Structure 1
Amino acid sequence: MQITTTFRHMEQSEALKSYAEEKLDRVKKYIDEPITAQVFFSVEKKIRHIVEIVITAKGISTKASEATSDMYAAVDAVIDKIERQLKRYKEKIKAHKPSTDGNGRQISKKIFEAESIDSSSEPVVISTKIETAKPMSIEEAVMQMDLLHKDFIVFTDAGSSNINVLYRRKDGNYGIIEPQQS
C-alpha cells in the first residue's frame, strides 16, 4: 500500500503518521492491490482536529473525513467509516455477481486486420473468441461496466432474454441498444 500524508496547519508528527499507516492496514482485506491512500491531517482553531482519507484501488475510490477534538480519535473514526463503506461495496459486488447457471447466450468476438477492411477483398480475421453474454439487469450491467472500466458491455437482459449493449455516452450518461420485436 502506498500512503502519502499531508499535514496542514500543524507540525509533522511521525507518531501520528505511523498510527494512521498501522490503522490503514485494516482495509487491505476489503480491496485488491495496488492501493494508494492519501491521509490529510489538519487543525482548525487549535481545537478541531480533522483527518481525511482518500483511498484509490483497482476499480474503487472512496473518501471519508472526520473531525474531533483528538487527532487519534479522528483517525479511528475515519478508518471505521472507510471500513463500513468498503464492506458495503463488497456486499454489493457479491449481491450483483453474474450468475453462472448457464442462462447466458454465447456470442462470438472477432478481431479484424485494419488494412483488410479498407481493401475490397474479404476481411482477414486475426482472432475469434467465444464469450457468454451473462443475464443481468441494466443496473447490474452499469455496475459491471464501471467496475471493469469499460465503455460498453454486451449482456443478456434478465427480463426479456434479449442481447443488449449498454454504452457510456460522451455526456456521462448511459445509452442502451436493444432489439425491437416486430
Structure 2
Amino acid sequence: MTPQIEVFTRNLELTDRLRDYVTKKVSKLNKLINDVEDTRVDLSYVKSARSASDRQVAQITIRGKGFILRSEERADDLFAAIDEAVDKMQRQISRFKGKRQRGRGDGTPASEVAREPVAEETPTDIEEMPIIARRKTFSLVPMDEMEAIEQMKLLGHEDFFVFYNANTNAINVLYTRRDGTYGLIEPKLG
C-alpha cells in the first residue's frame, strides 16, 4: 500500500487538476524509497516575495522510518515549482540511499541504547511559565557526525541539527558557525 499524499495550500485554491498533478508527480517519489510513512506537499503563493519568479512555492516533505527529507522550490508558475521540487527530492533520495547503504553505527536503536529518562520538573507557579509556541517530537536514529552534517543539509536546516551520536551514545547538537564551519555541542549531566 502506498502512503497517503497530503496536499496543503496557503493563499491559493487547490483545484482537482492541481491535486491530480501533485499526486501523479509525488507518488513516483514514494516508489524510489522504502519505509515511507507519510508525504506532505505544501503549496503556497507568497505575494510579498521580491521577485515575481519566487512567488509560487512548492515544498515536499517525506517522513519515514529514521529519516526526513525535504525540498522546496520557487518559480513564477506553480506547476514548474512542483516539477523542480520533485527533481530536487529525487536527487536527495538517491543521495540519501547512497549514504544509507554504506551503513551507520552498529544499527542498535536509540531506544535500546538510551539511559533511564530523567523525571520532568513541573513548575510550581503556572503564571510565570513562558509560552511555548510550538512543540515538536521526532525519532532519533543513531548516526555519526558526518552523517548528521549530511542530514542537516538534506533537511535544509541552516542553523542547527539535533542527533543521537552513535560513537558517543549521547544526544548532540550540530550547529553552523558564522565562519561557515560546524560546531558540536556534547551535553553532559551535571
TM-score in terms of structure 1 length = 0.54
SS in 2 for 1:166: coil
Partner residue in 1 for 2:56: 49
Partner residue in 1 for 2:169: 167
User: Do the aligned residues in 2 keep the contact of 1:41 with 1:50 (CA within 8 Å)?
Assistant: yes
For structure 2, list consecutive stretches of 5 or more residues without a partner in the other structure: 107-142, 150-162, 175-184
> RMSD in angstroms over aligned alpha carbons?
3.6
Q: Which of 7, 17, 20 pairs up with 1:18?
A: 20
Q: Does 1:80 align with 2:82?
A: no
Q: What is the distance in 1 between the residues matched to 2:148 and 2:173?
A: 15
Q: Does 1:94 align with 2:101?
A: yes
Closer/same/farther in 2, CA of residues 50 and 168 from structure 1, 3 Å limit: same
Partner residue in 1 for 2:8: 6
Partner residue in 2 for 1:63: 70
For structure 1, list consecutive stretches of 5 or more residues without a partner in the other structure: 100-136, 144-149, 154-164, 176-182
Bigger fraction of residues in strand: 1
How many residues align structurally? 123
What is the CA distance between 1:139 and its match in structure 2? 5.2
Partner residue in 2 for 1:30: 32
Closer/same/farther in 2, CA of residues 73 and 168 from structure 1, 3 Å limit: same
Closer/same/farther in 2, CA of residues 93 and 49 from structure 1, 3 Å limit: same
What is the CA distance between 1:142 and its match in structure 2? 7.6
Q: What is the distance in 1 between the residues matched to 2:80 and 2:171?
A: 43
Structure with larger Rg: 1
What is the CA deviation profile of residues 18-41 of structure 1, one whole-angstrom value per residue up to 9, with x for unaligned ones? 111111122123322343111111
User: Do the aligned residues in 2 keep the contact of 1:166 with 1:174 (CA within 8 Å)?
Assistant: no
Q: What is the distance in 2 between the residues matched to 1:68 and 1:141?
A: 31
User: Do the aligned residues in 1 keep the contact of 2:5 with 2:27 (CA within 8 Å)?
Assistant: no
